Amino acid sequence: MKPFDVYPLFDIEPVKAQGSYIWDKNGTKYLDLYGGHAVISIGHSHPYYVQKISEQLNKIGFYSNSVKISLQETLAQKLGEFSGYENYNLFMCNSGAEANENALKLTSFHTGRKKIIAFNKSFHGRTSLAVAATDDKSIVAPINENENIVFLPMNDEIAFEKEMRNNVCAVIIEGIQGVGGVRIPTEAFLKRIKSLCEKFGALMVLDEVQSGYGRSGKFFAHQYADLKPDLITVAKGMGNGFPVGGVLISSEIKSKHGMLGTTFGGNHLACAAAIAVLDVIKNENLIENALQMGNYIMENVKSIEDVKEARGKGLMIGIELEFPCVDFRKELLFRHKIFTGSSSDKNTIRILPALNITKTEADIFLETFTKILKSQKQIV
């Protein structure tokens, strides 16, 4: 048997990682400004994280949700306090798609309605409802096509107001669109969604799978706007590589035994990983670092003449070039040993480093980036 060939791969095999660096099997060192797609929040193989997971594994790694797992309560309490959502409840699952799938399902259970509003360029995952609410026809299988989902242009209040009626079940929006090319919903737009959801009895789902967990310079990107959504989905940075996701659920939404469930969600190891991540983010002031280093990178990138546009908040940065970035990223990776991310917007490079990136590491990227742009200009 061979792996099912669905990923276009770089011919690099990482075998070791530490902080913002990874090493391949030939011993070559790479600076990781991609974090395996915004997953590495506290840095690769953080010693505290390794210690906590190892200790847990030596006690008990897994049992299903048929028994009491008090680590779930510890995690929910820490997450609630740290994020400012003390009164919400936490449902744990294993990935971002699963978090959105459960969140949307919950909105439908709660309202008894079906219609979902999502936005152009959105990405919410690859399972049935999550992918139906994703604005990319190429990954929606015929069986996932769903006439209950309506896509609207983001930040277009007029289009949104026209569509909002009392048949809407939920509005789902990313804190900052990631795959769509790092695009930010305006604070006014988020507030309009919240107020019209309240008016029409719909629920607001904030997908913070990529933009959450401190990446934006606040715990959640939507916290730049002063509002509280009904549901918030998390994954990626939550486990720093351990597969864990979750839905933060307003206490207005009542639970019922059996309405949601998963075998692996909230197991001992996942909780230990997620608790360790929160401890490190808090103890090492990583949200402040994300804000400072993000601002530093952003200011410098904006001052580079040939950059068309730089978008983002904190350490979620999209750099739009005047040309497709595919070769530029290859040059960064293969020649200068720097990992970056792409997006569905072919001219936009995504920078999603660990939240503890240092100024020295940021400078390596900025200098290399400027050098490549200059050399390309000379060739043109």
Single residue of 43, 125, 185, 312 touching ligand PLP by CB under 6 A = 125
- Using CB atoms within 10 A of its CB, is residue 104 exposed (0-12), middle (13-18) or buried (19+)? buried
Residue 178 CB, nearest distance to ligand PLP (Å)? Answer: 4
Q: Establish if 95 lies at the interface with ligand PLP (CB under 6 A).
A: yes
Question: Burial, 70: exposed, middle or buried (Cβ in 10 Å; 0-12, 13-18, 19+)?
Answer: exposed
Q: Is 35 in the site for ligand PLP (CB under 6 A)?
A: no
- x/- letters, 177..196, toward ligand PLP (CB under 6 A): -xx-----------------
Q: Judged by CB under 6 A, does residue 343 bind ligand PLP?
A: no
* Among residues 111, 210, 223, 347, the one that binds ligand PLP under rule CB under 6 A: 210
- Contact region for ligand PLP (CB under 6 A) — 4-12, 203-211, 280-288, 298-306? 203-211
Number of residues that bind ligand PLP (CB under 6 A): 15
Nearer to ligand PLP, 238 or 310 (CB): 238
Nearer to ligand PLP by Cβ, of 207 and 320: the residue is: 207
Residue 294, CA atoms < 13 Å, CB-side half-sphere: 26
Coil, helix or strand at residue 171: strand
Q: State the DSSP code for 244.
A: -
User: What DSSP string describes 248-268?
Assistant: EE-TTSPP-TTSS--SSTT-H
Q: Within a 10 A sphere around the Cβ of 84, how many other Cβ atoms?
A: 13
Instruction: Rule CB under 6 A: say whether 101 interacts with ligand PLP.
Output: no
Q: Which stretch binds ligand PLP (CB under 6 A): 66-74, 94-102, 351-359, 369-377?
A: 94-102
Per CB under 6 A, 320 contacts ligand PLP: no
Q: Quick one: which of 361, 304, 278 has its CA closest to 42?
A: 278
Give the nearest distance from C-beta 176 to ligand PLP in angstroms: 9
Q: Which strands, in side-by-side order, build the sheet including 348-351?
A: 309-313, 316-320, 348-351
Q: Considering the complex, what minimum distance in angstroms separates the CB of residue 351 from ligand PLP?
A: 15
Supply the minimum distance, in Å, between the C-beta of residue 340 and ligand PLP: 15
Only one of the segments 138-146, 172-180, 223-231, 259-267 lies at the binding site for ligand PLP (rule: CB under 6 A); that segment is 172-180
How far is 107 from 94, CA to CA, in rounded Å?
19
Question: Smaller CB distance to ligand PLP: residue 123 or 160?
Answer: 123
Determine the Cα–Cα distance for residues 214 and 357; give it in Å rounded to an integer.
13
Pick 178 or 294: Cβ nearer ligand PLP: 178
Q: Which is nearer to ligand PLP, 83 or 95 (CB)?
A: 95
Q: Does 274 sit near ligand PLP (CB under 6 A)?
A: no
DSSP state of 33: S
Three-state DSSP class for 19? strand
Residues forming contacts to ligand PLP in the complex (CB under 6 A) are 37, 95-97, 100, 123-125, 174, 178-179, 207, 209-210, 235
